Every structure is written in structure tokens, then in C-alpha cells.
Amino acid sequence: MTDRLTVVTGAASGIGRSIAAHLLDEGSRVVGLDIRPLPPFDTDRWTGLICDVSDEQAWAGAMSQIVSDLAVPDALVNVAGISARSQQEPASATAWMEILRINLLSCWLGMRAVVPHMTARRSGKIVNIGALAAHQPFAVPDLAGYSASKAGVEAITRATALEVAAAGIAVNCVAPGPIDTPMAADVTDAARAQLLAPVPMQRIGKPEEVAELVGFLASERSGFLTGQVILIDGGLSVGVHYRVRFTD
């Protein structure tokens, strides 16, 4: 059992929900933030708050409530995000501003909200969720905005890690490849097969596998680790040999 308190954004579904469940299973207290209603967990260590994490004032209100009612968070996990496939016109300037606001700005606002509290206590863990797409953009029209937003998440992870390291705060990023989440549920069977073809492990990852890694990074077990981007992608990022075959 642990008395650690972790804030998880995007906790209503998908990877965020799996991370919240994993942390609860480990004995942590968890506050889930999402713009959508958050289904309850069967434990008094769970608190769900409706919050637009891309809004500065919403973050201020949420942090005030969390610190007042519970405690200063020991860890923050920034998961909230959208895919360009959910946008009407992903190549439009409006869509770009939306995806940068939800995927990137929300991450920065979350860190800015917790860092003063963690600095005062001289300890804290922050984990941001990036994506393999920041390294290997999709060969699909109109998805550049998503890749750009996740590349930005990696950049602010590294920059913030340097800024807060002396205060005892570690900041890392987990960059998943293809993961079986609601965000990926609208992919056709043909597209799924095409997605799997270059993955050396020949399967799509599970949200629970991402949650295990995040749980480690959000805990004291991760110790001296900071400023890193860790890819969890079944070997896809290093699998050039798998896609390019040489013959005699």
C-alpha cells in the first residue's frame, strides 16, 4: 500500500483509464481529470473531476481543489489528447490550433500547475504521453498536426526536465506506437493489417503495457531517470531490418 497521490489527465477512457486503473491497483490515490464524465472505480482512493485541461483557469481550479481536499500530487501523468482522425478538416488552421491546444498546450499547463507545489516539497514525478508519430510520421495525408503536437510534447518534456531537475522533480515521456485504444478503434481490418506488417512483434500493444511503464516512471523506483523519451512500440522504431529485406 502507498499513500502516493497521482493526477492523470484523459482518464475517462483509453490509455489514461488504464494508467489510472494500474496506479489504483498499486495502492496509489488517483485523481482523474477529463473533459468528459469519468466512470467511477470501486475504491475510495479514486477521485474523478471534469476539467478542460487545455484551459489555464480550469487547471487552477482543479489544483486548488486537489491540494485543499487531498494533498500536493506526488506525480502528474499527462495523457489527454485527440487524434487528427477525429477532426473534420485536419489540414485546416483551425484543426491545427485545436490539436496543438489539446495535445500540447494541455501538457504544458499541467506541468506549470504542479511544478510550484512539487518544487516547494523538493520532489515529484511527471510523465507525458507522446507518440511514435513524433519520430515516424504517418504516411497518411493531413495527420501532420498530430505528429507536430507530439513532437512538441517531447521537446517540452526535455526542456522542463532541465528546468526542474535541481528541485528534485523528474520529467519523462512515454511514446507509444500502435496501441489498442478507442482512438484506434475506427481503423478498418485492412488498415490494421497494414499497420501490423512492419511491427517486429506482430501485434498491437495493450494499454495495460503502457500503464506498467508509466507506473514505474511515476514512482520513486525510477530514481535518477529524467529528460528521457521511452518508446513502447513492439520494435517498430528500430525495425528497419524487418521492413527492408536483403536477398543474395
Q: Which residues are catalytic?
A: 146
Neighbours of 192 (CB within 10 A): 14
Q: How far apart are CA 97 and CA 92, in angstroms?
A: 9
Burial of 230 (0-12, 13-18, 19+ CB in 10 A): middle
Q: Please report, for the chain, how many H helices and E strands are present, in that order.
A: 8, 7
Q: How far apart are CA 84 and CA 75, in angstroms?
A: 28
Q: How far apart are CA 111 and CA 156, in angstroms?
A: 10
Grid cell locating 239? 525495425
Q: Are 229 and 157 in contact (CB under 8 A)?
A: yes
**What are the percentages of helix, strand and coil residues in the chain, rounded to 5?**
45, 15, 35
